[in-house]
Amino acid sequence: MVDSKVDINSMFEPVDNNSASKEKKNTKRAKKVITDLHFEYPKDENTFIFVGCDEAGRGPLVGNVVAGAVVLDPNNPIEGLKDSKKLTEKKREALYEEIISKSLAYGIGQATPEEIDSINILWASMLAMERACMEVMKKITPHMALIDGNKVPKNLPFRAMSVVKGDMLVPEISAASILAKVTRDRELIELDKLYPQYGFAKHKGYPTAFHLEAIQKYGLLPCYRKSYGPVKNLLEK
């Protein structure tokens, strides 16, 4: 979050780029997908507020897909940011609190199982990212979104750039992945309190052997994704 009285532009250092040829080259760079293990921020004097976006929960059979969006404060760095899947639960929880405390703006967006079944998990993930970015825009309007993966949301009101392995390469995306992962895990822990026989707190909705056995034994809950294979197969029996 950020004080509305703060001059956001003064907190960032724009890159000097007076050459027309450099501007053309950087425009091309901003459009391409990064496919190696190296990332450079687009060098554009008018693009220096970046929001990182990532999601959690594409693979599970149950619950919402959750997206995070984060604008980091260059004057208040956070140590240890990396792909949320590479962190222990304890470390993720600690970084979650630090991110929401130190970032200039952050947002959480979600798409429901019904939306996942209607438009598929890819575009439901993009929808969740759009919603997360809308939350960010209540405080700051970014110049560009940096999106983990090789697709970008269709309906963002600013430019977007996909970054393959972005959760490993871009701190803003790493922070977003942590917010998304912690938020979704917390939701599954709460679901586990209501339905402990399914083991949601342990497998987080993924199709483990225990989870599939629980579905066979206890049946489906309304929060399951009906378009997913194991759930769809059970419904068709």
Residue 122 belongs to a domain with what CATH number?
3.30.420.10
Give the total residue count for the chain.
237
In a domain, 237, yes or no: no
What confidence score (pLDDT) does residue 159 get?
A: 95
In a domain, 99, yes or no: yes
Q: HEC string of 22-50? A: HHHHHHHHHHCCECCCCCCCCCECCECCE
Cα 117 to Cα 8: distance, rounded to the nearest angstrom: 39
In a domain, 207, yes or no: no
Write out the chain's pLDDT in tens, 237 residues: 434 333 444 444 444 444 334 444 444 444 444 445 788 998 888 888 999 999 999 999 999 999 999 999 999 999 999 999 899 999 999 999 999 999 999 999 999 999 999 999 999 999 999 999 999 999 999 999 999 999 999 999 999 999 999 999 999 999 999 999 999 999 999 999 999 999 999 999 999 999 999 999 999 999 999 999 999 998 987
What confidence score (pLDDT) does residue 47 get?
A: 81
What confidence score (pLDDT) does residue 206 get?
A: 97
User: Can you give the residue range of the structural domain that contains 190?
Assistant: 8-195
In a domain, 67, yes or no: yes
Q: What is the pTM (predicted TM-score) of this model?
A: 0.83
Cα 65 to Cα 132: distance, rounded to the nearest angstrom: 12
- Contact status, residue 63 vs residue 191, Cβ threshold 8 Å: yes
In a domain, 225, yes or no: no
CB neighbours (10 Å) of residue 63?
22
In a domain, 215, yes or no: no
In a domain, 219, yes or no: no
What is the total count of domains within the chain? 1
- Contact status, residue 217 vs residue 199, Cβ threshold 8 Å: no
Among 186, 167, 165, 183, which residue's Cα sits nearest to residue 106?
Answer: 183
In a domain, 102, yes or no: yes
What is the average pLDDT value for the chain, to the nearest integer? 88
CA 89 from chain centre, in angstroms, equals 17
Encode 125-154: b = buried (16+ Cβ within 10 Å), e = exposed. Answer: bbbbbbbbbebbbebbebbbbbbbbeebbe
